[in-house]
Amino acid sequence: MYPPSTAQGNVAEQIPTGMSSNPHEGQPIETAGAPPEVAEAAVILLHGRGSSAGHILRLIDEFLHHGVMYLAPQAAHRSWYPRSVTAPVEENEPWLSSALDRVSGALEIAEDAGIPPKRTLLFGFSQGGCLAAEFVSRHPRRYGGLLVLSGCLLGSDAQTRTNGSLEDTPVFFGCSTDDPYVAAERVRESAAVFERHDGAVSHQLYEGLGHEINDD
């Protein structure tokens, strides 16, 4: 199993106060796999809280494909946003908007290599899964895919933040029935949002997995 990040919960006390309006600005985007000049597809990997870009890049050992460029943005202080998944979205600002900008930056790197969004898959675990889901819901179009593990959409107004078609983008949500940070019902609700916006959605709830990634 993939080693878990730390909790999805409220971590505001661990984030320094007095940060800029763009706290993730200047954080690196690590790369692996095919070099840009020969890459034919891209995967953007978003790590969980308490983890790192380098750590989540280790997962490519499980699904490495030739011709694929892997991009992993790093969160400032190893946290994409300070509050829990159930907190009002505005309480996670400006961290969330800054995090979404880093995802856009990774997409721009892929596009500069000639890889459009329709050949780019967004993958995230824990906070990174929530971030991937948030990005796609706010920027609906055809992507290569969306893979959200132990994550869901943030807040309670996701439906109003999504306006457009995903054009049959493959979407998968995977989570445990006993995940301590992401309730199974929130996973189902998030999957339903993407279904309503033309995603090719599937989801799987695993028994007794906790907050980890399994081989499946």
Per-residue HEC secondary structure of 190-202 comes to HHHHHHHCCCEEE
Report the C-alpha gap between 103 and 125 in whole angstroms.
Answer: 14
CB half-sphere exposure, 63, CA atoms < 13 A: 13
Q: Do 34 and 68 touch, CB atoms closer than 8 A?
A: yes
- The mean per-residue pLDDT over the stretch 7-30 comes to 69
Q: Where are the beta strands (DSSP E) in 81-119?
A: none
Residue % of the chain over a pLDDT of 90: 78
Report the C-alpha gap between 11 and 48 in whole angstroms.
Answer: 13
Note the pTM of the prediction, 2 decimals: 0.90
Look at residues 133, 24, 28 and name the one whose alpha carbon lies nearest to residue 82.
24
**Which stretch of 11-15, 34-38, 83-87, 180-184 has the lowest confidence by average pLDDT?**
11-15
Coil, strand, or helix at residue 187? helix
Q: Do 178 and 208 touch, CB atoms closer than 8 A?
A: yes
- Taking each helix axis from N to C end, the angle separating 184-196 and 127-138, rounded to the nearest 10 degrees, works out to 20
Q: Do 198 and 173 touch, CB atoms closer than 8 A?
A: no
- Alpha-carbon dihedral angle through residues 21, 26, 31, 37, given to the nearest 10 degrees: 110
Q: What is the pLDDT of residue 158?
A: 66
User: What's the mean per-residue pLDDT of the chain?
Assistant: 90
